[in-house]
Structure 1
Amino acid sequence: MSKPELPGWRWGPFTFRMPFYHTRLYWQEAMQGLFVAAATGLALVPLMMEFFGLGFEEAVAVSMIHSAIIASAIIVFGEPYAPGWITPALPLVLAYVLGGYDDPASRWQAMTALSLNFAALLFILGISGLGKKFVLWLPDTLKAGIILGAAIAALKRVFIDDAERFLLQQPIAITLACAVCLIFAFSLPMAKLKAKYKVFAIIGALGLLPGFIIAAAVGPLVGEVSYDIQWGILIPPVGAAWAQMSPFAIGWPSLEMFLQGIPLAIITYVILFGDMVTGNEVIRDGLTARHDEHIDINPTRTHISVAIRNAVMGVTAPFFPTQGTMWTGVQVIIVQRWKLGIENMNSLHSGLASYYLMGLPIMFFLLPLLTGLQPLLGIALSLTLVLTGFACAYVAMAIPQNNTARGTVVLIGAALAFFEPWIGLTFGVLATLLLVGWDVNRDPIPHED
């Protein structure tokens, strides 16, 4: 007898699950989602204000649209992953858009071109089944170089490009936040403490939140953070934001923008595929403990659903790459509680929907929460980029098998971080061929000894 899947309304390859009807609300996941998702989801607000010409409320409206599209992955399309940004690609995208275009309108158009390029690539690779074959065909050295390029670009943006705007304005708060999160996420001594003491394990499971809370507490004490909390309800000005960013309002990208964005779409797809592989392995591990529920893992459905989300985002609130497959930390946290049994969580889909607040954008209307977070958003952005840089660096450097490959990976990473995507990608292909050879790994899933 086959295991049942949580019911829903089928439409094509997708399943719509009505919140509170098909999926239950679990307060544990909802409370984490309210604060962690608020801190990270609003992290792009400073960038949209500084470089894309939006006011605070308009930038919040854009983040609300992104959040709604992200939540649709679970509710509308029935995906079994905790969706999030394709974070490793973000620093490469920012370097390309901010370095290549000078005014907000052209930057929004560049974001639209990137989003629609990526949507088309995903759709084609999804319905044709060529996605897996494409990633299998890429050599390990080039993959590692792409990931390391994201790491270098992320750290460069924090410590060089935007240092005067964020790091030098809040040095103690940002340093403390990054230190706490790096220690709890990656420290080997801390891993031993988490295995021995439950309190450390609980703190570590909260992801970015502990470092963020410490920065929020220490910031005012050292004069780096000043709160001006306002009470009331905010109605995000979606119309005003639309008028400044949607291609229907400001015009469509030129053909040149679409062509120049193709290499970055390919690079982002390589990173996205890695997220899909990781997400599938996390779910398969959970299924060893949950024999009562069937979770449908369908790469074709995932390709098409992410393509649709990117296309919708590209014409409404274009900010690439905020529509990815999986937020790894959240996926792991939810699956860990799902594994404990049906009495803790009836379905993985319920846990996912609860974390994303059943798709209801409550936090974007709460003015006290938004104004309380406003002086901390530069910290949230810096923290996100530093953790991305660290994680990408150790993943990238674990892939090459010899010193020549390691040196080549560093060259490719630097080229991608400092030059335009097509130059970096071309350099990466040539460097791989000439220095290492086309070192294809037929098994894209890493296995630890």
Structure 2
Amino acid sequence: MSLKQRPDGAEQPSMLGALKLRIPLVHYKLEIPDILQGVILCVVPLGITALMTDILGIPFEVAVAFVLVNNFLYLLHTHFGDPAVSGWITAGIPLYIAFLSGYPEGDARILALIALQITVAVLFLGLGIFKGADAMVRKMPMSLKAGILIGAGISAVMGEFGADGRVWTMPITILSGAALGFFMLFSETAAPLRARYGFFRFVAQYGIAIPFILAYVFGILIGEVPVPQVEWGFTAIPIGDIIRDYSVFGLGLPPLQYFIDALPLALAAYIIAFGDILVVDSLFKNADGVRKDEKLVFSPRRNSIIVGIRNLIHGLLAPFISLSGPAWTGGQALVINRYMNNPRKAMDSYWGGATSIYWGMSIALILVPVITLLKPGLNIGMALTLLIQGYLCGYLAIEMLERQSNLQRGVAVIVGAILATKGAAWGLGTGLVLWLVLEKNWFASSPAPAKEQPDAGDAVTEQG
């Protein structure tokens, strides 16, 4: 039991005034179901180690230490008044890979990532502190926002199916895992199965964890995945090596040109991440309508400031290739659905679940047996993550363009294609030029409505 009890319908107790510090077992109970979910889902953050070793040349043991640091930084949110189950800026991972691949292997790529992460940190901190986030995203042309998502989706799928893509390292295993994951998460057939049978609901609530485990075991049985060599012990964080080889205190600050090169991609990453903020805000409003016994307060400003702090810590000490984002939508959905579907007696406070999922994940990452057991299958976890991310980016972009004109749809496709093949600077630059030349009505006294009169493309469609 937590020592501090809240009045019915109020916020969960906290301390330090506006900081809203909450401590486990003092201000909320730990939730065993969410701890267990976190243990199972540790395969998701471990998947990023494959990219850190391949793209950045970071040894696996150091990459695991980076993941562990990243996981503990997630807890800043729920310990300081932000209810978000935070995560990466996942949709942009293919864009970050393309950006970093433009630099020589070695220290240059590490410095490029440091420049990108510090630039992202400055954006989040600045827009959070000065309340500019809403205005920036509201004024961004819809064609650019959708185009960024299209580009990220195309990049994700292209990267996995390219000549050197992860799919071809263990094709039967990864494709079977992807088929199962897509079926359970998105299939029209699976939806009624989830409604009717507890087994399918159980599988679905764990996201890609169970498809990963089944594909991993299947891969070992058919010989595509090596048999794991389990080791014992606890994860070490080699502080001296990290400071010397990967931090600004050992490598120095990146050259100014690196920051200039990183700025367009940092803007794209911010725009992608802001979509997560909007989704999370909507989820908490729904939860407030269901659980009347607790008041949840989500502040995009507080969220942005904490995300900025996380990115700054990583940028200075342990650059992280997926960057730090405002929310992990999958984990957020798991926690908030359990919270909404249980009374107070079964789950006293939302904060217990939101924090427990990362306590469970962090504990699992400390245990070397868990890490070595899963290590041979990390490419599977990363491939599943990026393929599903590509799907999500694609349908979200199309949904954003549903009420837009054919002109805006065309601009979005061009922006997405250029962004996926030439990088964020070319994509955003082209998008701005197309918006100025094609979309902007220089003679109108007021902005044109989103849905215009049928243009040439509409006429062709109607005649067809």
**TM-score (structure 1 length as normaliser):** 0.92
Where does residue 138 of structure 1 map in the other structure?
Answer: 140
CA contact (8 A) 2:117 2:323 kept: no
Q: CA deviation at 1:134?
A: 0.8
Secondary structure of 2:162 counterpart: helix
> Is residue 2:13 matched to residue 1:4?
no
**TM-score (structure 2 length as normaliser):** 0.89
Please give the alpha-carbon distance, in whole angstroms, between the structure 2 residues aligned to 1:161 and 1:260. 27
Where does residue 155 of structure 2 map in the other structure?
Answer: 153
Where does residue 446 of structure 1 map in the other structure?
Answer: none
Where does residue 434 of structure 1 map in the other structure?
Answer: 437
1:399-423 deviation digits (Å, cap 9, x = unpaired) = 2234333232211101111113211
Q: CA RMSD in A?
A: 2.0
Please give the alpha-carbon distance, in whole angstroms, between the structure 2 residues aligned to 1:361 and 1:399. 36
> Is residue 2:38 matched to residue 1:28?
no
Please give the alpha-carbon distance, in whole angstroms, between the structure 1 residues aligned to 2:255 and 2:199. 54
Q: CA deviation at 1:285?
A: 0.5
Secondary structure of 1:202 counterpart: helix
Q: CA deviation at 1:50?
A: 2.0
CA contact (8 A) 2:142 2:408 kept: no
Q: CA deviation at 1:430?
A: 1.8
1:84 equivalent among 83, 87, 92 = 87
1:101-129 deviation digits (Å, cap 9, x = unpaired) = 11221111111111111111112211221
Please give the alpha-carbon distance, in whole angstroms, between the structure 2 residues aligned to 1:148 and 1:437. 22
> Is residue 2:47 matched to residue 1:47?
no
> Is residue 2:338 matched to residue 1:333?
no
Q: CA deviation at 1:241?
A: 3.2
Q: 1:152 to 1:219 in 2, by over 3 A?
A: same
CA contact (8 A) 2:62 2:237 kept: yes
CA contact (8 A) 1:139 1:441 kept: no
Alignment of 1:312-323 (within 5 A): 312-323=313-324
Q: 1:366 to 1:60 in 2, by over 3 A?
A: same
Gaps of 5+ in 1: 443-449
Q: CA deviation at 1:440?
A: 8.7
Secondary structure of 1:8 counterpart: coil
Identity %: 32
Please give the alpha-carbon distance, in whole angstroms, between the structure 2 residues aligned to 1:159 and 1:329. 24
Please give the alpha-carbon distance, in whole angstroms, between the structure 2 residues aligned to 1:259 and 1:90. 19
1:295-331 deviation digits (Å, cap 9, x = unpaired) = 1221221121111111111111111443111111111
Letter in 1 for 2:284: I
Where does residue 311 of structure 1 map in the other structure?
Answer: 312
Gaps of 5+ in 2: 1-6, 442-446, 451-464
Please give the alpha-carbon distance, in whole angstroms, between the structure 2 residues aligned to 1:223 and 1:389. 28
CA contact (8 A) 1:39 1:373 kept: yes
Q: CA deviation at 1:192?
A: 2.5
Please give the alpha-carbon distance, in whole angstroms, between the structure 2 residues aligned to 1:432 and 1:151. 22
Q: 1:116 to 1:333 in 2, by over 3 A?
A: same
> Is residue 2:75 matched to residue 1:74?
no
Secondary structure of 2:76 counterpart: helix
CA contact (8 A) 2:242 2:317 kept: no
Where does residue 222 of structure 1 map in the other structure?
Answer: 222
CA contact (8 A) 2:68 2:366 kept: no
Please give the alpha-carbon distance, in whole angstroms, between the structure 2 residues aligned to 1:157 and 1:412. 18
CA contact (8 A) 1:136 1:440 kept: no
Please give the alpha-carbon distance, in whole angstroms, between the structure 2 residues aligned to 1:55 and 1:103. 14
Q: CA deviation at 1:10?
A: 2.4
Please give the alpha-carbon distance, in whole angstroms, between the structure 1 residues aligned to 2:269 and 2:216. 33
